Amino acid sequence: MGSKVTPCECATLGDFAVVRMGDPEGLDERVFATLQQVINHGGTQWWLYASACSACGQNWMIAQEERIHDNYYLKRLTPEERSAILEQGSWPADFLQFEDVIRLGPAHKQVCRFFDTDDLTCTVKELIEARENISASELAYLLCLSESEARRLMDRAGKMSWAQLRPFA
pLDDT band at 162 (very low <50, low <70, confident <90, very high): low
Q: Which among 132, 60, 130 is positioned nearest to 102, based on CA atoms?
A: 130
pLDDT for residue 144 is more than 80: no
d(CA 1, CA 23): 33
Q: Are 41 and 48 in contact (CB under 8 A)?
A: yes
Q: Considering only residues 148 and 19, tell me which one the structure prediction assigns the higher pLDDT.
A: 19
Is the dihedral angle over the CA atoms 73, 76, 78, 82 positive or is it negative?
Answer: positive
The confidence band for 2, taking pLDDT boundaries of 50, 70 and 90, is low
Report the pLDDT value the prediction gives residue 12, as an integer from 0 to 100: 96
At residue 18, does pLDDT exceed 80? yes
Q: State the Rg of the chain over Cα.
A: 18
Q: Residue 50 in 3-state DSSP?
A: strand
pLDDT in the model for residue 68 = 82
Query: 58 and 76 in contact (C-beta within 8 Å)?
Result: yes
Mean pLDDT of 27-54: 96
Give percent of the chain above pLDDT 70.
85
Residue 90 near residue 62, CB atoms below 8 Å? no
Q: Of residues 22 and 145, which shows the higher confidence score?
A: 22
Residues near 18 by beta carbon (within 8 Å), at least 6 away in sequence: 71, 72, 73, 74, 104, 108, 110
Could you read off the pLDDT of 64-84 as tens digits, one per residue? Answer: 998 888 899 999 999 999 999
The DSSP annotation for 7-18 comes to P-SGGGS-SEEE
Q: Give yes or no for residue 168 having a pLDDT over 50.
A: no
- From the list 79, 51, 74, 55, the residue with the least C-alpha distance to 63 is 74
Q: Which residue has the higher pLDDT, 93 or 153?
A: 93
